[in-house]
Amino acid sequence: MTNKIVSDVMTGNLITAKPEMPLKEAIKILAKQHISGLPVVNEKGKLIGIVSETDLMWQASGVTPPLYIMLLDSVIFLENPARYEKEVHKALGETVKDVMTKNPITTAPDQSLSVAAKLMHERSIHRLPVVNENDEVIGILTSGDIIRAIATELEKESGE
């Protein structure tokens, strides 16, 4: 991955979702295209979120209420009730906007590939939208793209 930048290995010609897209449509796109996430863009093409298989799993998994105990007629939550509210919202959502992850971490096309890979590893994310200076999505960097770049490097090294 010596001296490679994100634009060298990112996937371009993206399929994107609009916030008002029905979840059923997003699920069909992910399954048909064999991809695990879609950047969500507004009417101006600016990135506003990302919808992934993980976000969509809420539809199938349901919601577990937060743990709590009663003490002297008071409810003490052992988990954050706000998280529960977010889970309910995702489980009942009908559009991409309802379940997407807002303000996703992004990278620039001229970012060093090793820096982008480190960011993905540290944040435990599998896809990184690539945006230009106007926050328009121009590509996506996936863990698969990085693995393929490493494999290409290894092939070059062994071929010499």
Yes or no: say if 137 and 12 are a contact pair by the CB < 8 Å rule: no
Mutual angle of helices 143-159 and 113-123, in 10-degree steps: 130
Query: How many domains is the chain partitioned into structurally?
Result: 1
In a domain, 1, yes or no: no
d(CA 48, CA 101): 9
Asked whether the predicted pLDDT for residue 36 surpasses 90, the reply is no
pLDDT tens-digit profile of 48-100? 999 988 777 655 555 454 555 555 656 555 556 555 455 544 445 688 998 88
If one compares 117 and 55, the residue with the highest pLDDT of the two is 117
pLDDT tens-digit profile of 7-22? 999 999 889 999 999 9
Q: 11: Cβ–Cβ under 8 A, 6 or more apart, which residues?
A: 139, 140, 141, 142, 145
* Domain membership of residue 94 as a residue range: 6-159
- Binned at pLDDT 50, 70 and 90, residue 142 comes out as very high
CATH number, domain containing residue 104: 3.10.580.10
Mean pLDDT of the chain: 82
Beta-bridge partners for 41: 47
What global pTM score does this model have? 0.74
How high is the pLDDT of residue 31?
87
Which residue bears the tokens 């590893």?
A: 121
In a domain, 59, yes or no: yes
In a domain, 66, yes or no: yes
Yes or no: say if 148 and 154 are a contact pair by the CB < 8 Å rule: no
If one compares 120 and 62, the residue with the highest pLDDT of the two is 120
- Binned at pLDDT 50, 70 and 90, residue 122 comes out as very high
How high is the pLDDT of residue 128?
94
In a domain, 75, yes or no: yes
Burial 95-106 (b: 16+ CB within 10 A, else e): bbbbbbbeebeb
In a domain, 43, yes or no: yes
